[in-house]
Amino acid sequence: MSMANKVILVVEDEASIREMLRFALQRAEFSVVEAGDVQAARLKMAERRPDLVLLDWMMPGVSGLEFARELKGNPTTRDVPIIMVTARAEEEDRVRGLNLGCDDYVSKPFSFPELIARINAVLRRTVPGGEEERMAINGLEVDAASQRVTAKGQPVRLGPTEYKLLHFFASHPERVYTREQVLDRVWGHNVYVEERTVDVHIRRLRKALEPFGYDGMIQTVRGTGYRFSEKI
């Protein structure tokens, strides 16, 4: 299992716990980046995008909850998985965290093996092959680095969600996805939005691609969901 080289950002105010976490994570062959508060976390985040964020729930200043919302609200960081660390196993917090789009949840006191296992489970879920930096299908180019889309050289104006949607579909062509799965992959885990919302964004995406004749690539599979295909 080449889980190595994965970078984990630990956001935790108590230095002693941070220390322990670093020790345990490094022993499991993760690279660790630490932050004592949200401010520092933002900087580290901008510096290098981690593969996963381990986020303490209770922190002085900006809370972990708010930081999670911040990350999930930003298209650039939306798909970095988050595991919440909370002091209590309070149901309500847990629900709020999950509804926010956190991928999992660990409550103190936790065992390190369990923590590692959960991290591995979450990392395994995140798309392995979907890290294509640049895709060009049939004259339609999707550049992940600049988050830009061009069709036959012409720039395509897309909103963040439409971009994310296209990026996801383009990196998984010839495959049907249900609305639920699209919501999971594009909007984030455990976020509650109406399924039909996908339809609307599909419509917006198609509209944006229409002037270039690419709208046919997003295909409706009646009774199931949608599919991206280069065959127009």
Partner DNA sequence: CGGGACTGTCACGAGGCTGTAACGTGTTGC
Partner DNA sequence: GCAACACGTTACAGCCTCGTGACAGTCCCG
Interface residues toward a second copy, by CB under 8 A = 1-2, 91-92, 94-95, 98-99, 101, 103, 111, 113-114, 116-118, 120-121, 124-125, 127-129, 143, 145-148, 159-160, 174-178, 180-181, 184, 190, 221-224, 227, 229
Q: Which does 199 bind (CB under 5 to 8 A by kind): DNA, a second copy, none?
A: DNA
Q: Which does 129 bind (CB under 5 to 8 A by kind): a second copy, DNA, none?
A: a second copy
Spatial distance between the Cα atoms of 194 and 198, rounded to a whole number of angstroms: 8
Alpha-helical segments (H) within the chain = 15-27, 38-47, 64-73, 91-100, 112-125, 160-170, 179-182, 196-209
Site for DNA in 125-184 (CB under 7 A): 157, 159-162
Q: With respect to a second copy, which residue has the nearer C-beta, 60 or 222? A: 222
Residues 6+ apart with CB under 8 A from 104: 81, 83, 84, 118, 121, 122
Task: Report the nearest approach of DNA to the CB of residue 88 (Å).
Answer: 27
Residue from 95, 117, 221, 232 touching DNA (CB under 7 A): that is 221
Residue from 194, 211, 213, 232 touching DNA (CB under 7 A): that is 194
Q: Which does 15 bind (CB under 5 to 8 A by kind): a second copy, DNA, none?
A: none
Three-state secondary-structure class, residue 187: helix
Amino acid at 219: Q
Task: Report the nearest approach of a second copy to the CB of residue 101 (Å).
Answer: 7
Q: With respect to DNA, which residue has the nearer C-beta, 111 or 220? A: 220
Q: Which does 211 bind (CB under 5 to 8 A by kind): a second copy, DNA, none?
A: none
Three-state secondary-structure class, residue 106: strand
Spatial distance between the Cα atoms of 168 and 170, rounded to a whole number of angstroms: 6
Contact (CB, 8 A) for 210 and 194: no
Q: Which structure tokens are listed for 157?
A: 């104006």
Tracing tokens 């579909």 back to the chain, one arrives at 169
Task: Report the nearest approach of DNA to the CB of residue 72 (Å).
Answer: 10
Residue 192 found at the interface with DNA (CB under 7 A): yes
Residue from 42, 96, 204, 227 touching DNA (CB under 7 A): that is 204
Size of the site for DNA (CB under 7 A): 27
Spatial distance between the Cα atoms of 119 and 115, rounded to a whole number of angstroms: 6
Dihedrals phi, psi of 166, to nearest 5 degrees = -65, -40
